[in-house]
Amino acid sequence: MNDLYIILTASLVACSCGLLGCFLILRKMAMVGDAISHAVLPGIVIAFLLSGSRDSLTMLLGAGLIGMLTTFLIEFLHKKARLQTDASIGVTFTWLFAIGVVLISLFAGKVDLDQDCVLYGEIAYVPLDMLLSPTGLIFGPRALYIMGAIFTLIVLFIAFGYKELLLTTFDPAFASALGISATFWHYLLMGAVSATTVASFESVGAILVVALLIGPAATAYLLTDNFLVMLVLACIAGVLVSFSGYYVAVWLDGSIAGAIAGMTGLLFALAMLFSPTHGVLFKKLRMTSNEVPAPGPTT
């Protein structure tokens, strides 16, 4: 049963991150998840200083607020300072991470306030944190319910805003001409990314969240040119790497998060080689078949 709990939790995280990752890749903002994972450190410290507690809920609230601030700063630097998106991401997360380090050294130097201890989780511990009723009835892992709720909200968000998200992703100018605010939908998307990323940290760990935010979506991107199909394929890829990665970890007696992230890279490599539309080998075969042979010598 513990195996099922871990695989289901990883699959829900993978599907949630994969759906949002499709938009991030097309918007050239794939590293936002990695930026948030570093930038939330000052939020953790401030939450501790204000509350005096290392309670997970308090830390998640502080991290979530700073995660939202991170996305706003990235967009602000991109629009107002005219930085490239990757440059604005790099400037924002290094600056906020540095502030967090300074705050720890000044106000929490003697307190065990490391991100790994108070926020970032380990997926192997999912079956140990059960949701209990007042009478002691066990309902299952708390992470499973949290990620199930997050996945449901992401699906509803994409379903109700699909047209707006699609237009603002592929052609923001055309969307603005239709009266759709590209900035408004961008911030909604970044808010969803921030909330999903921070909520997933405690359940499965930071490394796995970043891998699942990029890997399944990048794999799906190579397999199709249809965006709706890309969303579905990203979810399928996420479930596949969650299932296979867990059993690879059991077989090797190694890290579950590391194995799932490794399977994400392997699946991407297979798609890069064998994709019918963008695969390296298929492109080479098409180029070879389209070559016109030079005329032979005549007598």
pLDDT over 70 (residue 240): yes
Domain-embedded: residue 135? no
Coil, strand or helix at 132:
strand
What does DSSP assign to residue 121? -
In 3D space, the residue among 226, 228, 260 whose CA is nearest the CA of residue 244 turns out to be: 260
The mean-pLDDT minimum among 60-64, 188-192, 194-198, 235-239 falls in 60-64
In DSSP notation, 61-101 reads: HHHHHHHHHHHHHHHHHHHTS---HHHHHHHHHHHHHHHHH
Domain-embedded: residue 134? no
pLDDT over 80 (residue 215): yes
What pLDDT sits at residue 117?
Answer: 46
Question: Is this structure's pTM higher than 0.95?
Answer: no
What pLDDT sits at residue 108?
Answer: 58
Residue 266 in tokens: 């392997």
Residue 191 CB-density burial (10 A; 0-12 exposed, 13-18 middle, 19+ buried): middle
Q: Where are the alpha helices (DSSP H) in 224-255?
A: 227-252
Domain-embedded: residue 294? no
Report the number of distinct structural domains present in the chain: 1
Domain-embedded: residue 151? yes
For the packed helices 32-39 and 41-51, what is the interaxial angle rounded to 10 degrees?
30
Pairing type for strands 138-141 and 130-132 reads antiparallel
Run of H or E residues at 197? helix 182-204
d(CA 241, CA 13): 11
Domain-embedded: residue 133? no
Q: What is the percent of the chain where pLDDT is above 70? A: 88
Domain-embedded: residue 132? no
The length of the chain is 299
pLDDT over 90 (residue 32): no
d(CA 295, CA 299): 12
Domain limits at 69?
2-123+140-289
Coil, strand or helix at 112:
coil
d(CA 39, CA 80): 20
CATH number at residue 79: 1.10.3470.10
The stretch 288-299 carries a mean pLDDT of: 56
Domain-embedded: residue 62? yes
Domain-embedded: residue 68? yes
